Amino acid sequence: MALCSEKWSFGGGVCVKTVTCKGIIGERPKENATCEIIISLESGGHLQCTESEYLKENFSGTVVVGNADCEVDRQVERCVRTMVPNEQCLLAISFKEFPSTVTLSVVLSSFSQFPDIFEWTREEKLAVARQHKQRGVQLFQAGRLSDSFLKFNKAVKLVITVGIEDSEASDLYLQVCNNMAWCHLKQGHTIHALTLCNKVLNVDPSNVKALLRRSEAYNRLNDVKLAVLDLRQVRKLEPNNGVAKERLILLQHKLELENIKYANVIKRMFQ
């Protein structure tokens, strides 16, 4: 008999957690806690998610909260964070894109708590941030842009707590923001990409990757003049940069055509 239930929404759907056996009253797992869990698939196995570690017939093992790579696993982790040791529950995950629901039985056997983030040392923050960044790169290379972006986002949040005046943190910040900008461009989120490029260039005005990506963003926004200016800056910094050279030829031609078109419009206005 169900004891209590909890419901929450996420970008792709809705989750309902129903407690079937209460656990030991006490602390719940926090970010980076190491948890021993048992998961069994109750229903909805026909909904395949090849990226998921948990959407299988059975899973028994260790989970580090915050390391999930796909939406199903992120919701399982969110569920685990509400649990106490020896608690058992049913987690129903409904996706907007599918007409049915996946139901998992989740048991939290035990967990080892990790300190709150404000207690982490500089080295711990940077180490975890690097892990998220590296995993984000792997996901990006696999074409999983949304999952990749979330990993980069976790990394940048940790780096900011260290402070970008720290040289190691600053380097990592620039790398991750550049990667996030590229994710946005790949997904057509041009304004967001532009914002991230500007954040990089505010710290490092000579950052070639940010200049190239901002140029692409300006081009998509039909601001060819600014796109050309960024490419010219890249050519000054790296005269042999082939990408900048090719793009600059194309955009200068595009700008010339726009100038001719504008001149013709003005001419007709004053005939």
* 8: Cα within 13 Å, side-chain hemisphere: 11
Best mean pLDDT range from 21-25, 45-49, 191-195, 219-223:
191-195
Range of 158's domain?
120-270
Last residue of a domain, which of 114, 144, 175? 114
Q: What is the pLDDT of residue 271?
A: 62
Domain containing residue 201: CATH number: 1.25.40.10
- Residue 172: which residues within 8 A CB-CB, separation 6 or more? 126, 129, 130, 133, 155, 159
Is residue 240 assigned to a domain? yes
Q: What is the pLDDT of residue 56?
A: 72
Task: For residue 225, report the phi and psi dihedrals to the nearest 5 degrees.
Answer: -60, -50
Do 151 and 259 have their domain in common? yes
Do 125 and 256 have their domain in common? yes
Q: What is the pLDDT of residue 173?
A: 98
- The lowest-confidence range among 3-7, 229-233, 264-268 is 264-268
Whether residue 106 contacts residue 88, with contact meaning beta carbons closer than 8 Å, is answered with yes
Is residue 2 assigned to a domain? no
Q: Is the pLDDT of residue 95 over 70?
A: yes
Local confidence band at 260 (pLDDT 50, 70, 90 cut-offs) = low
Do 73 and 139 have their domain in common? no
d(Cα 74, Cα 68) in Å, to the nearest integer?
A: 5
Last residue of a domain, which of 95, 114, 133? 114
Do 163 and 84 have their domain in common? no
Do 146 and 15 have their domain in common? no
Do 96 and 230 have their domain in common? no
Q: What is the pLDDT of residue 263?
A: 58
Do 64 and 162 have their domain in common? no
Q: Is the pLDDT of residue 8 over 90?
A: yes
Q: What is the pLDDT of residue 51?
A: 82
Helices (H), the chain: 71-80, 122-141, 145-162, 167-186, 190-203, 208-220, 224-237, 242-269
Strands 4-10 and 34-43: unpaired
Domain count for the chain, please give it.
Answer: 2
The pLDDT tens digits for 39-83 are 998 887 655 667 888 877 789 999 999 999 998 899 999 999 999
pTM comes to 0.85
**In b/e form, how buried is each residue of 180-215, taking b as 16+ CB within 10 angstroms?**
bbbbbbeeebbebbbbbbebbbeebeebbbbbbbbb
Do 79 and 44 have their domain in common? yes
Q: Which amino acid is at 193?
A: A
Do 125 and 245 have their domain in common? yes
Is residue 155 assigned to a domain? yes
The pLDDT tens digits for 213-258 are 999 999 999 999 999 999 999 999 999 999 999 999 999 888 877 6
**Residue labelled with tokens 């984000």:** 136
The pLDDT tens digits for 131-185 are 999 999 999 999 999 999 999 999 999 999 999 999 999 999 999 999 999 999 9
Q: What percent of the chain has pLDDT over 70?
A: 92
How would DSSP label each residue in 136-163? HHHHHHTT-HHHHHHHHHHHHHHHHHH-
**pLDDT average, residue stretch 198-224:** 96
Do 245 and 261 have their domain in common? yes
Do 124 and 256 have their domain in common? yes
Domain containing residue 66: CATH number: 3.10.50.40
Do 98 and 167 have their domain in common? no
